[in-house]
Amino acid sequence: MENDKVSARFCTQDMHILFLTSSEEDYLSDSILIGMRNILGVNCVDYPLRDILYKDCTKESSARVRGNGFTLYTGSLRNDAIDRFQIRPRLERGEFDLIIISDIWRQFGLFIQWRNYLTPSNTIILDGQDSDQLYPYAGFWWRRPYLWFVPRVTKDFLYFKREWTENSQFNIWHRLLPKSVRKFLPAAQNLRTIAFAIPDSKIVTEIPIKTKRFARHIVDAEVAAQISDSSSNYAFKEEVNYYTDLQSSEYGITTKRAGWDCLRHYEIAANGCVPCFRSLREKPTNCAPHGLIPMVNCIEYENYNDLIRKISNISPEQYKKMATASIEWAKSNSCIKTASKILDTWMKWKQIKNLQK
């Protein structure tokens, strides 16, 4: 019911969104787009067409997606009739209420090209890169002298950052400071947290029947070496088999990968399996994922022996509470919930910016 209310609120305002996309898989951008389309329907224009998310996407394209395309790339969207023609003239006319640059690292060319039409009131920036640096202050730009003078994102634009640490600053001078000092630098007022999301349809409604302790796909090499019938590589070729394995398991192992956030965290919880997260306590506060609480909706462990010790002390009653809390955590990070939070944040920001005019 809450999602219906959110959808109704935005649709009755006849909001139109231009959602810029890239040509590579992007778990952050794609999960947000799924949520936006669920809320706004054809009023959310993905440009260019994000065909990898649609039901009629070719098998050849899906086969090239990292991780076999599970969870996000399984035909989440209907190929409804959407007008993607003459985007620039429509921007000039102010046809779109909100422009979402869904990956500033890949879409900075369009940001530069259309900069005259983009304002703090009508544009937000998403940064789902594994790097904790901000555009355009990462090495990618500074190693290329021809990019040194690209237009910056001013601090008036809402900037949603996934891997947010003390290094996430809109300058390069902070790098001259020792790390012990950097952590005391104030964060930019326009920075906001963001995380991966999982389609609402992929979340179970109750705890499934459990037949074993651990899910087969174990990304922690130390733990995988101690558990028979486990695999540290992709263990399944079909999503249904992957989900069935998670649902029949009490615990799923996950760790930091290239960045702290990983779609696997959400897949584990969404299938009624309690996430076991190695060294979770080391995660910076503003870094995704958010809301994981050890011994409430997940287990934080340091090594195999620590993991087994903690699991052995959990009673059946406590496990049931943790599994239920894990599902609720997944629901709080659904595509629709996450997209709704972004829209709410932007509308409040827009009101502030309009009052400042």
pLDDT tens-digit series, residues 159-175: 999 999 999 999 888 88
- One domain for residues 82 and 146: yes
Tokens linked to 317: 């009653």
Model confidence over 285-324: pLDDT tens digits? 999 999 999 999 999 999 999 999 999 999 999 999 999 9
- One domain for residues 328 and 307: yes
Backbone angles phi and psi of 20, in degrees to 5: -75, 135
> What pLDDT was estimated at residue 4?
45
- One domain for residues 340 and 296: no
- One domain for residues 179 and 162: yes
Three-state SS for 91-141 is: HHCCCCCEEEECCHHHHHHHHHHCHHHCCCCCEEEEECCCCCCCCCCCHHH
Edge-to-edge order in the sheet of strand 249-254: 212-214, 249-254, 274-278, 299-301
What are the angstrom distances between the C-alpha of 349 and each of 52, 170, 189, 320? 32, 19, 11, 40
Mean pLDDT of the chain: 91
Q: Stretch 74-79: mean pLDDT, rounded?
A: 88
- One domain for residues 149 and 30: yes
- One domain for residues 246 and 314: yes
Other CB atoms within 10 Å distance of the CB of residue 99: 23
Domains: count for the chain: 2
- One domain for residues 328 and 341: no
Lowest average pLDDT, out of 5-14, 64-73, 169-178, 211-220, goes to 5-14
Other CB atoms within 10 Å distance of the CB of residue 328: 14
CATH of the domain at 237: 3.40.50.2000
Confidence of residue 40 (pLDDT cuts 50, 70, 90): very high
Model confidence over 269-281: pLDDT tens digits? 999 999 999 999 9
**Structural domain boundaries enclosing 297:** 204-333
> What pLDDT was estimated at residue 346?
95
- One domain for residues 280 and 310: yes
Between CA 236 and CA 249 the distance in angstroms is: 15
Other CB atoms within 10 Å distance of the CB of residue 120: 19
Over pLDDT 70: what percentage of the chain? 95
Q: Stretch 91-107: mean pLDDT, rounded?
A: 96
Tokens linked to 79: 């190929």
Residue 11 has pLDDT above 50, yes or no: no
Residue 3 has pLDDT above 70, yes or no: no
- One domain for residues 170 and 70: yes
- One domain for residues 352 and 284: no
- One domain for residues 181 and 325: no
Residue 1 has pLDDT above 50, yes or no: no
- One domain for residues 122 and 259: no
Residue 94 has pLDDT above 90, yes or no: yes
Backbone angles phi and psi of 60, in degrees to 5: -65, -40
> What pLDDT was estimated at residue 13?
57
Residues in the chain: 357
Q: Is the pTM of this model over 0.85?
A: yes
Between 268 and 69, whose confidence is greater?
268
